[in-house]
């Protein structure tokens, strides 16, 4: 069964404006399926996963571009980024002859951003729209329209509700299309294969990482610290590497959308970049597999249940932004020297919306006690949200805060 992706309309709009579009995201989230589903009959399809075609593209890129003339969908472009220069030439020639016919000439996919983005920015600046596809969101699964999460938005009353047990089944299962209807053993097989593919094909082939065993330990260490402040020294110690290597490997995980760094809020952009961020794994199923929770029940009752609950919530909110075509959403967290912390700050317009995540069905005023710090920072503050496992949306007495069921984010 095909599940309609929220990026569909965004991609179609981008293709009608740009000569080229690039759809990035982790492996196995459905990039190729989505674009082939949208492709018109005359659009050719070619994948650089094919070793013969990849060799042709590397050794004679001009012949490759001539053979696969537009409109064309080129899959896994990161394997031969040299093609981008030749794509630029074709686009510019078509723009000169007929600007209207230059729209949507090339559709590209890439599973890894780190070998791609430099080439894209140098060769196709102003010619390409870049979009991010992540794992399936809960609103996609429910057949609901996508709306970037803002606490004072109108929440759909028709969205599927689920209890805490079902929530942790979804958290443990993850959001890759292949695992949606998988049995527990099949789910384990998928993640085992996924990790091996990621390590062998992406990490070894596309980076300078040579010790895959240490990289795997590093990956497991990141998973164990999801939802926590980043500590590169601890990550380096766990993997038996130095801090500089840990920093480099973390950039690989974030570039390939396995992990995400949530920056702290500060009035200065420069200050935000130097302060310690929080680390999140972007798929909770992969995170649960790496941290060896054998069932949803053990995960729910385990020591990291609060951190992985928060991770799932942040991931869903990120998807709601990416699926609207927002590549860099204005999301932060707040933490000061007095240990006052707000899990998430959403900047929209000139307002800030504070959000707290609690794995509880009985929210309390004390859960949002730090929201008041925003007024002392002279920030214009919108309605706050306490995302929890309560059954219905309800206002928190005496606060400009709504308690929102986690199933509605």
Q: Which helix (H) or strand (E) holds 24?
A: strand 20-24
Q: Around Cβ 42, how many Cβ atoms within 10 Å?
A: 8
C-alpha to C-alpha distance for 232 and 24, rounded to whole angstroms = 27
Rounded average pLDDT over 371-397: 89
Mean pLDDT across the chain: 90
Residue 409 has a pLDDT of 85
> Encoding tokens for residue 160?
């599927």
Instruction: Give residue 337's pLDDT band: very low, low, confident or very high (50, 70, 90).
Output: confident
> Encoding tokens for residue 93?
């020639």
pTM of the model: 0.90
Residues of the chain above pLDDT 90, percent: 67
Residue 36 sits at the vertex; the CA angle it makes with 35 and 39, to the nearest 5 degrees, is: 85
Residue 278 region, left (φ>0) first, then alpha (ψ -120 to 50), else beta? Answer: beta
Residue 363 has a pLDDT of 86
What pLDDT digit, counting tens, does each position of 216-270 carry? 999 999 999 999 999 999 999 999 999 999 999 999 899 888 999 999 998 765 5
| pLDDT beyond 90 at 343 | yes
| pLDDT beyond 60 at 333 | yes
Residue 156 has a pLDDT of 53
Rounded average pLDDT over 328-344: 90
What pLDDT digit, counting tens, does each position of 69-88 carry? 999 999 999 889 889 999 99
What pLDDT digit, counting tens, does each position of 169-186 carry? 999 999 999 999 999 999
Name the burial class of residue 272, with classes exposed (0-12), middle (13-18) and buried (19+) by CB atoms within 10 angstroms of its CB. Answer: middle
> Could you tell me the domains of the chain?
7-132 (3.40.50.300)
Residue 116 has a pLDDT of 64
Residue 314 has a pLDDT of 97
Residue 200 sits at the vertex; the CA angle it makes with 199 and 205, to the nearest 5 degrees, is: 105
What pLDDT digit, counting tens, does each position of 1-48 carry? 789 999 999 999 999 999 999 999 898 999 999 999 999 999 999 999
Strand partners, 132: 24
Instruction: Give residue 401's pLDDT band: very low, low, confident or very high (50, 70, 90).
Output: very high
214 in helix, strand or coil? helix
Residue 196 has a pLDDT of 92
Asked which of 52-56, 211-215, 231-235, 372-376 is least confident by mean pLDDT, the reply is 372-376
């Amino acid at each position: 069964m095909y599940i309609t992706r929220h990026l569909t309309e965004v991609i179609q709009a981008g293709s009608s404006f740009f000569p080229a579009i690039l759809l990035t995201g982790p492996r196995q989230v459905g990039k190729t399926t989505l674009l082939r589903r949208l492709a018109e009959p005359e659009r050719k399809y070619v994948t650089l996963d094919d070793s013969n075609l990849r060799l042709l593209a590397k050794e004679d890129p001009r012949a490759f571009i001539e053979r696969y003339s537009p409109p064309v969908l080129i899959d896994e472009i990161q394997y031969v980024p040299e093609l981008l220069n030749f794509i630029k030439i074709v686009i510019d020639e078509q723009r000169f002859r007929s600007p209207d016919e230059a729209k949507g000439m090339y559709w590209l996919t890439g599973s890894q951003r780190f070998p791609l983005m430099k080439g894209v920015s140098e060769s196709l600046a102003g010619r390409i729209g870049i979009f991010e596809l992540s794992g399936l969101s809960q609103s996609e699964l429910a057949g609901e329209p996508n709306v970037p999460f803002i606490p004072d938005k109108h929440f759909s009353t028709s969205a599927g509700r689920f209890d805490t047990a079902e929530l942790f089944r979804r958290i443990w299962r993850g959001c890759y299309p292949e695992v949606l209807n998988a049995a527990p053993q099949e789910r384990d097989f998928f993640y085992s294969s996924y990790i091996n593919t990621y390590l062998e094909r992406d990490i070894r082939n596309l980076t300078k990482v040579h010790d895959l065993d240490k990289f795997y330990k590093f990956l497991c260490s990141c998973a164990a610290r999801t939802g926590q402040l980043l500590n590169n020294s601890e990550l380096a110690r766990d993997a038996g590497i130095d801090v500089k290597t840990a920093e480099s490997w973390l950039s690989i995980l974030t570039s390939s959308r396995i992990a995400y760094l949530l920056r702290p809020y500060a009035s200065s952009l420069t200050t935000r970049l130097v302060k310690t961020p929080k680390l999140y794994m972007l798929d909770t199923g992969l995170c649960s597999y790496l941290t060896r929770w054998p069932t949803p029940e053990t995960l729910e009752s385990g020591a990291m249940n609060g951190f992985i609950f928060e991770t799932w919530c942040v991931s869903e909110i990120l998807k709601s932004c990416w699926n609207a075509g927002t590549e860099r959403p204005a999301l932060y967290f707040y933490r000061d020297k007095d240990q006052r912390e707000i899990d998430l700050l959403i900047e929209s317009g000139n307002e800030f919306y504070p959000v707290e995540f609690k794995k509880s069905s009985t929210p309390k005023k004390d859960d949002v006690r730090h929201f008041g710090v925003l007024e002392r920072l002279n920030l214009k503050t919108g309605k706050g949200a306490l995302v929890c496992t309560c059954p219905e949306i309800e206002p928190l007495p005496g606060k400009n805060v709504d308690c929102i069921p986690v199933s509605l984010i």
